[in-house]
Structure 1
Amino acid sequence: MNLPPPPPEMDDAEFLRWWGRWEPLTPSTVGAFMAGFDRPWWVVGGWSVEVFTGVRREHEDLDISMLTCDAPAFRDFLGDRWTPFVVSAAGLRPYRVGGPDVDREGQLWVRRDAGAPWVLDVPLTPDTDGCWTNKRWHDHVAPVEDVTWVGDDGVPYLRPEVTIMMKARLDRPKDRADLEACWPLLGSAEQEWVRDTIALAHPGHPWLERL
């Protein structure tokens, strides 16, 4: 049974009433949560920037990603300990073992049960023959190990130049702040890659003048 879709615009109070609270994992706890999962996964978004730059920022949650082809294995890995939901424009639906496949660029939320907070957001990464595929520019296909790195904490993260390129689409204040924190720490080859890839994925993007 699908849940009803939420209102198009929700403030924090409305979200809490409809879907419940968030108590997200952090880099210090996600490793234990994912221990034993034998497919590639990595932290994306703001945490991947903070760990690379050392610049502290606020975080609404912690996002990890994995290849879409590995989502069924993740569902099996969670077993009865955790309850994942597929997130879509139509609302939320349970992601049951043996249930329908997720969309190629789908998203999962995870909590223990209906009375527990959400702990993990999993935006899935499309795969091409088992390789990582860039959501913003599908011609960019690479082995997972080429677009991720492992921090001193032992947690895998999306490479910072790829994170910045991904963030260009929304161009929010926090995305611009992440750009400013990352940019001087990137090598010249990585900076050139960011410029070239944003130009291909988002022609005329305002960041191109800044870079």
Structure 2
Amino acid sequence: MTHEREPLRRTPEEVAEDERFFRWYGDWDPLDPDGVVAMMAGFERPWWIVGGWSIEAFTGVPREHEDVDVSLLGCDLTAFREHLGDAWHLWSNHGGTLRPFDDRHPEVLDVGSQVWIRRSAHDPWVVDMVPTPDRDGLWTNKRDPDHVAPLDDVTWVAATGVRYQRPEVTLLYKARLSRPKDDRDLAVTWPVLGADARAWLREAVARLYPGHAWLGGTMAG
């Protein structure tokens, strides 16, 4: 049985920001996880889905998504660019500054920023690649530089074979902005998180964001 997707909740400020974004950068028509799998077919380095889709995969509770966020280790960016070849246009995005990520510019502007992907200038963006800076091949936490771990400790593999970021890690990233969709993702995930994951997330949010509303709300239960 297919469940209807919950509409994405956005504030008026978010709607206005999206309208400004589209005027400057163009439209998005994001792939879904199946589309990402097709794009990444044959890529031999690890990659995983983060953001809202990783929450949906873990909880099984569907909602509308405005994009799809994919990650890989920074040390694998060159291999990723070579994998996509000329079939896709890759743009390094650092704070709104865009530059092609291609043979002319073989390095991204910042390994901790984003790589946007589309077919051509006439086509919408389809993937937001958010590279993860690595330390000697280990995953690092952009929010907490002291958190360094093997990839298997911070991701999980679904029955479909797709690797996703663990929900407690995704929620820690979401805590910084705490938008309506982030509050919703916490609400549907918290009841199905294990005790260890809950304890880790609660401690990390309290340490990085003292006084965060989540601590006295959903996480208090």
**Aligned pairs (5 A) from 1:128-207:** 128-207=135-214
Report the residue type matching 2:196 in the other structure.
Answer: A
Gaps of 5+ in 2: 1-14
Aligned to 1:123: 130
What is the rounded CA distance, in whole Å, between the counterparts of 2:37 and 2:207 in structure 1? Answer: 35
Give the deviation of 1:134 after TM superposition: 0.5
Aligned to 1:25: 31
What is the rounded CA distance, in whole Å, between the counterparts of 2:175 and 2:77 in structure 1? Answer: 26
RMSD between aligned residues: 1.7
Is the contact between residue 140 and residue 148 of structure 2 (CA under 8 Å) also seen in structure 1?
A: yes
Give the deviation of 1:146 after TM superposition: 1.2
Aligned to 1:42: 48
Is the contact between residue 78 and residue 106 of structure 2 (CA under 8 Å) also seen in structure 1?
A: no
Cα distance per residue 1:93-136 (max 9 Å; x no partner): 11112525221312100011111111110111111111100111
Change (3 A) 1:52 1:119: same
Cα distance per residue 1:158-211 (max 9 Å; x no partner): 011111111111011110100010001011111001011112222222212221
What is the rounded CA distance, in whole Å, between the counterparts of 1:56 and 1:188 in structure 2? Answer: 23
Is the contact between residue 168 and residue 201 of structure 2 (CA under 8 Å) also seen in structure 1?
A: yes
Aligned to 2:5: none
What is the rounded CA distance, in whole Å, between the counterparts of 2:20 and 2:186 in structure 1? Answer: 31
Aligned to 2:74: 68
Aligned to 2:117: 110
Aligned to 1:101: 107
**1:85 equivalent in alignment to 2:70:** no
More helix by share: 2
Give percent identity, aligned residues only.
55
Look up the SS of the partner of 1:59 in the other structure. coil
Look up the SS of the partner of 1:101 in the other structure. coil
What is the rounded CA distance, in whole Å, between the counterparts of 2:20 and 2:205 in structure 1? Answer: 35
Is the contact between residue 149 and residue 156 of structure 1 (CA under 8 Å) also seen in structure 2?
A: yes
Report the residue type matching 2:144 in the other structure.
Answer: W
1:55 is aligned, of 50, 54, 61, to 61
Change (3 A) 1:38 1:62: same
Is the contact between residue 75 and residue 97 of structure 1 (CA under 8 Å) also seen in structure 2?
A: no
Aligned to 2:216: 209
